[in-house]
Amino acid sequence: MTWDPNFPRARIATECGLKAALAIPILARDEVIAVIEFFLHAPRHEDARLVKVIAAVAAQLGLAIERKRAEEAVREREARISVAAESADLALWVVYADQDVAWMSEKGRMIYGFRPDETLTRDLLVKRAHPDDRAAVQAVFDRACAHLQAFESEHRLVLPFGKTRWVIMRGRCLQDDDGNLSEIIGVSIDVSAQKQSELQLQIQRDQDISADSQRAAEVIRGIRALVRKDKSTHSVLSLNAIIADTLHLVGSDAVLRETTISTQMDRGLPQIEGASIQMQQVLINLIMNALDAVESRPAAERRIIISTRSDQGAVAEVSVRDFGVGLPKDRPEKVFDHFFSTKQTGMGMGLTIVRSIIETHGGTISAENAPDGGARFFFRLPAARRDRQTQAA
């Protein structure tokens, strides 16, 4: 073992009285990451046993350094994933197949109800699923791992303290260089709030269906009473309150048609005497006609104004004003005629029925083109007798 003239530290070694050296490289994935050097005061023949021992030590050091680098890379990746998860309000997790352990972001542990120091496994993730959903979740995992493919599942979680959460779980099974399962990486999204809203919406729909059925029966009774001119269903009514209830019924139609409906209510509006369901039918008809009238306009111009005013306390007036195409210019009032319609599919009976209802209640209804475009329908009804208003109050 003698000096190589190209040895970089030969001059320093010579000044220190060293005459020979032995260098063994430390490799990690075929990359030289360090060198073990032995220096001698006198040259001598190469000791095969010594070289073998040093080479073995170098190999062990190479494996240790490689493992350390891999651990640091995993920690760095997990840290980046955790930051991304926190910012996106998601649960990110990784299952390491060869170790049967799992890592989960801090947000994920909170969603799943795991302690910060709790060791996680794939089975533990599956056991968090609701008993009724657990078999399906296990089947999703097994199928994805068997075919090394992506997976998705929507299911419930049951947390240790009894709380139930809904999550959407998506992920993918990754393979190593030999084609074997190496990792299962996934994301879980807490959709509990969305599910709660859907449940509330379904309940509301069920209430609406029931209310619609009841309202339909009331409409039929109201039509019969209208035909018979029966006033037994009449009571003292607040038109402002009926307008508010009607807007609730047609609110979804206005949203779907991107139309703004505003109100200008007279708080001193006198009460009237009549059938509430018939008054509601009048308003629904006028509002739906107004929605049809503005449909061809740009979204920013789709406006409807509903207003009420008192005429010296003796008459209550309701106006439905749109900014649509307007009425026939020759004779706007003919829209109330039988079988007249401005719609291609209209039957021309809606406004005729509206006029009949208003006149049965002792009132009048009119229509006119507004000076700045669109149309205005307004009806006037006599105020209820003072004694009737006092009884209602």
CATH 3.40.50.300 fits 89-190, yes or no: no
Give phi and psi for 186, each to the nearest 5: -150, 170
- Domain ranges in the chain are 10-70, 89-190, 234-392
- Going by their DSSP bridges, the two strands 260-264 and 303-311 should be labelled as parallel
In this prediction, residue 347 carries a pLDDT of 38
Neighbours of 270 (CB within 10 A): 20
52 three-state secondary structure: helix
Confidence of residue 345 (pLDDT cuts 50, 70, 90): very low
Structure confidence by residue, pLDDT tens digits, 56-99 = 666 666 666 666 666 666 666 655 555 555 555 678 888 988 88
Structure confidence by residue, pLDDT tens digits, 262-317 = 999 999 999 999 888 889 889 998 999 899 999 988 888 899 999 999 988 899 99
pLDDT exceeds 70 at position 53: no
pLDDT exceeds 60 at position 339: no
Q: Report CA-CA distances (Å) from 18 to 21, 22, 381.
A: 8, 12, 119
Q: Do domains 89-190 and 234-392 have the same CATH topology?
A: no
In this prediction, residue 392 carries a pLDDT of 55
pLDDT exceeds 50 at position 37: yes
The segment with the largest mean pLDDT, out of 228-242, 249-263, 298-312, 343-357, is: 298-312
Q: How far is 156 from 256, CA to CA, in rounded Å?
A: 32
Give phi and psi for 198, each to the nearest 5: -65, -40
The pLDDT mean for the chain works out to: 78
In this prediction, residue 74 carries a pLDDT of 61
* CATH for the stretch 234-392: 3.30.565.10
Q: Given 3.30.450.40, 3.30.365.10, 3.40.50.970, 3.30.540.10, which CATH number is that of 10-70?
A: 3.30.450.40
Within 8 A by CB and 6+ apart from 155, the residues are 129, 130, 133, 136, 137, 166, 167, 169
Dihedral sign computed on CA atoms, order 5, 7, 12, 18: negative
Buried residues in 57-81 as b, exposed as e (16+ CB within 10 A): ebeebbeeebeeeeeeeeeeeeeeb
Neighbours of 236 (CB within 10 A): 18
In this prediction, residue 1 carries a pLDDT of 44
311 three-state secondary structure: strand
- Record the tokens describing residue 83, joined without a space: 């930051």
> Radius of gyration over alpha carbons of the chain, in Å?
41
Which of 352, 232, 222 lies closest to 278 in space, CA to CA? 222
Q: How far is 153 from 171, CA to CA, in rounded Å?
A: 9
Confidence of residue 318 (pLDDT cuts 50, 70, 90): very high
